Chain A
Amino acid sequence: MNIAQINLTIAQMLDYTMPILFAALCGVLSENAGVVNIGLDGIMRFGAFFGLLGAFFSHSPWIGLLFGIAIGCLVGALHAFITIRWNGDQTVSGVAINVIAVGLMTYLLEFVFSTTGYSPQIQNYFGAQAYRVHLPFLAKIPLLGAFSNLSFMIWFGFICTVLMHVLLYHTVLGLRIRTCGENPKAATTLGINVFRIRWFAVVAGAALAGIGGATLSISSFSGFSDSMPNGVGFIGLAAMIFGKWTPFGALGAALLFGTGQIVQSIIAVTGIAPKLAPGLTLILPYVLTLAVLAGFVGKSIAPAADGLPYYKEQR
């Protein structure tokens, strides 16, 4: 492989990484406030379809991105309403969102575009040359050259990671979010409105999952496919756990899993190891996650009140 090929491979790897990263960041925010959101795979599917829808009709990926954010917030609000307002079971609500997403998007795809399997391709997507972030001064430097011509969404993913880190660990709001995830009762006794904070974290987190979905359909690819997000949301959850519920940890894990995916496609395309079934490389993220949960790769501990509904007047 020459330099250009290596750069291309790295850029592709980042294309795989970003949807995983957005999903993981959704989980990091939501779960640090104490709400588990396994519906994020479904929210990504919503985001992927509506992102494409917005971009398709407006001919602008920016509108598509806004659509992705908006639908993410909306579905997130549904999850928040069920789990925070009514103390519904967080796992059940998440599973329901995933199931709804599968059926509803398939239906909408046929209803809106009268096609099955794939939406029409769009020209104006973040992966198109016109929408890439050009940094020509990097092009000549080995390896960094890969970063000279990336989709906006990839840079946006890095930015969101840094912002999330600052939010959680350096702001007042972040301390309060983490308090709600560790001990909501303590938060109440300090005059913090647990419900409001959890609403914010779930909805803002879901917006990120929506962005992750839109990244698939209007950045990594230029259209919606009925198989999206293809389990990326669950890999994102795995990345969140692997990254120990921290933004940078999630980024590291997402990069690792993204690399796994690119290795898999290299194997598939070049036929280096034809006997290695593609399914085997697909399970890599999950094997790593199980290893982390079992404590083989350093302990990963969830926020203490993660997944627990909060009743203020419970005795």
Chain B
Amino acid sequence: MKALEVRNISKMFPGNLANDNISFSVEKGEIFAIVGENGAGKSTLMNIIYGIYTPSGGDILVNENEVNIRSVEDAIKLRMGMVHQEFMLIPRFTVTQNIVIGDEPHKGIFLDYGRAVREVRELSERVSLTVDATALAGDLPVGVQQRIEILKVLRRGAEILIFDEPTAVLTPEETVELFVTMRKLQAEGKTILFISHKLKEVMEIADRIAVLRRGKLQGIVNKKDTNEEELARMMVGRNVVLEIPKIDVEVGAVAFACHDLHVRNNRGYEAVKGMSFDVHGGEIVGIAGVQGNGQDELVNAMIGFSHPVSGSMELNGKNMRMVTTAQLRKEGMSYITEDRARRGLVMPYTVRENSVMGQHLDRPFSRGIRMDYDKIGEFAEGKVKEYDIRPGDVYDTAGSLSGGNQQKLILARELSMPHNFLIASQPTRGLDVGATEFVYRKLLEEKKAGKAILLISLELSEILGLSDRILVMFEGRIVGETTPDKTTEEALGLLMLGVGIDEKVQS
């Protein structure tokens, strides 16, 4: 039986056809994946099915009956549930409160909190998703927060579950756990829609896969009959090189070096506990590690956002321990961040303004207190062409660009500044295959040009594919150093979890 069918769904946003005449159907008990680049219209489509957006046209059928979904309430009544990409949690509420909002156990007008807690505990036991029913949601790790979201949906009796990019925020281990849960739900007869742009995950979990590109359905394929390359081609519309080519570059002088570096996090605890390493010109050094093992604090210290408690830090032979970000940049540091919204770009500003930030006070972009917008515009136009930033109007705000194009804009700015040391912190986070490929190509070009590059990433394939040397970080320390040809994803994964540290893996 078809659990869900959409016929000719379209959605018009001002100046943008986000969904163009999309039709497909999902069998009951199936895991159906919808893949596409960022901005391909996946989330829009799900928001329509779930009643958050009103479609401009088309029909939706649930259990082979035509339905009219005009609000989320309607969707919930039809036994649909959605686990959103950004969690819909209230950090100040308890787990139980978060799960029961909207369908609360009550006596008259009063909330029956005791019964709510009992219900949540029963449910969590029944589906074996462990949560502490009385903890504050904000105190829990991301993986557990997602469990709360799933429980929320199951409690409403959802039969069709929509997962919107659920793995984007998860560590590899949490992803494995999530997939176990999804299979369990499938075994119970639930129908699952899985939205993603990570092809490897889709190939692992889905039964059938629909591919979207620029709002249009490119095709639906069986997992058995396809592979990552074909999916990537359908998504991007051209051949995509997923393999990262190896290039050999002569290693130059030390650009960055630190010794016995100690850094505190914003709560005053030591998060980096004595790290020593160096990065040479023409070399990519990869830092592998599970999120939250001190990577953020290390980067903050390296870019001058916080000052190390002790230890030394040198850039091109100059002491850089207690200097400002501006001084570091002047000395030749560039920085690509994963946090495009808060660190990378000023979203309400235009592409033009964002393209020169950091050098906006230098000639030719300004003279004294006067900005020379003609020169800035020329520069931005050039970069937009060179980096193929779409849609390509320098007067667009950075916030209106897709994630991939935002990242291209950051690359354009950072790589055009005079620099010889580049910090790339999770440079492909949240990017689709096309944009990821672009970032890889640029990083390799940088390496070829003799720049020193420090790559921090949670994606092991990325670390293994790009790095010349790999440092494994665990609880604020380097617990292993190796090279890509002497290790595997599995071996790295174990090291990242702190397994076998006592023997101290040395290569």
Contacts and interface: CB of A to CB of B under 8 A. Distances in A.
A121 B257 CA distance: 82
A183 B84 CA distance: 13
Given A172-B111, A185-B88, A191 B104 contact: no
Interface stretch (B69-77, B366-374, B471-479): B69-77
Given A176-B102, A179-B90, A315 B109 contact: no
Contacts, number: 71
Most chain B beta-carbon neighbours within 10 Å: one of A188, A189, A315? A189
A209 B353 CA distance: 46
A54 B167 CA distance: 62
B110 A171 contact: yes
Interface of A: 170-176, 178-179, 182-183, 185-193, 304, 312-313, 315
A155 to B, nearest CB: 23
B118 interface: no
A172 B73 contact: no
Contacts of B109: 171-173
Given A189-B88, A312-B52, A315-B13, A175 B72 contact: no
A188 B110 contact: no
Given A172-B110, A175-B111, A187 B93 contact: no
B89 interface: yes
A315 B14 CA distance: 11
A182 B90 contact: yes
B90 A190 contact: no
Contacts of A315: 13, 44
A315 B38 CA distance: 13
B82 interface: yes
Contact of A175 (B54, B71, B76, B97): B97
Contacts of B92: 182, 304
B interface, how many residues as a size bin?
20 to 34
Contacts of A170: 110-111
A86 B21 CA distance: 31
Contact of A187 (B97, B101, B103): B101
A176 B101 CA distance: 7
Q: Which of A176, A191, A315 has the most CB of B within 10 A?
A: A191
Contact of B76 (A191, A193, A304): A191
B106 interface: yes
10 contacts: A174-B111, A179-B101, A182-B93, A187-B101, A187-B102, A188-B52, A188-B72, A189-B88, A190-B72, A190-B76
Nearest to A173: B109
From A172, A182, A187, A188, residue with most partner B Cβ within 10 Å? A172
Nearest to B13: A315
A186 B72 contact: no
A174 B53 CA distance: 27
B111 A189 contact: no
Contacts of A193: 71
Nearest to A179: B101
Contacts of B50: 189
A31 to B, nearest CB: 14
A171 B92 CA distance: 17
Contacts of A172: 104, 106, 109-111
Nearest to A167: B109
Contacts of A173: 109
B88 A313 contact: no
Nearest to B77: A191
Given A182-B93, A185-B88, A315-B13, A191 B111 contact: no
Contacts of B84: 189
Contacts of A304: 90-92
A189 B90 contact: no
Nearest to B51: A191
Contact of B52 (A171, A174, A178, A313): A313
A contact patch SS: helix
A185 B104 CA distance: 18
A170 B52 CA distance: 29
Closest 4 CB pairs of A and B: A190-B102, A186-B88, A191-B73, A182-B90
B203 to A, nearest CB: 29
A77 to B, nearest CB: 23
Nearest to A174: B111
B267 to A, nearest CB: 15
Given A176-B101, A191-B76, A313-B52, A186 B90 contact: yes
A82 B152 CA distance: 34
A170 B103 CA distance: 15
Nearest to A305: B90
Contact of B89 (A174, A175, A183, A192): A183
Given A185-B88, A186-B90, A191 B102 contact: yes
B490 to A, nearest CB: 38
Interface in B125-172: 152
A62 B106 CA distance: 35
Interface in B44-59: 44, 50, 52-54
A27 B297 CA distance: 39
A174 B111 CA distance: 9
A73 B398 CA distance: 42
B103 to A, nearest CB: 8
Nearest to B112: A172
Interface centre among B13, B82, B101, B152 (most CB of A within 10 A): B101
A54 B53 CA distance: 47
A302 to B, nearest CB: 11
Nearest to B84: A189
A185 B106 CA distance: 23
A174 B52 CA distance: 23
B102 A183 contact: no
A182 B98 CA distance: 11
B344 to A, nearest CB: 19
Nearest to B81: A189
Given A187-B102, A188-B52, A313-B52, 17 more contacts: A170-B110, A171-B109, A171-B111, A174-B111, A178-B90, A179-B93, A182-B90, A186-B89, A189-B84, A190-B101, A190-B102, A191-B73, A191-B102, A191-B103, A304-B92, A312-B52, A315-B44
B90 A192 contact: no
Contacts of A183: 88-90
Nearest to A301: B92
A315 B44 CA distance: 9
A188 B44 CA distance: 16
A315 B43 CA distance: 10
A20 to B, nearest CB: 26
Contacts of B91: 304
Nearest to B73: A191
Contacts of B97: 175
Interface in B183-227: none
Contact of A192 (B100, B101, B106, B110): B101
A172 B113 CA distance: 10
A182 B90 CA distance: 6
A214 B496 CA distance: 66
Contacts of A179: 90, 93, 101
A176 to B, nearest CB: 7
B396 to A, nearest CB: 15
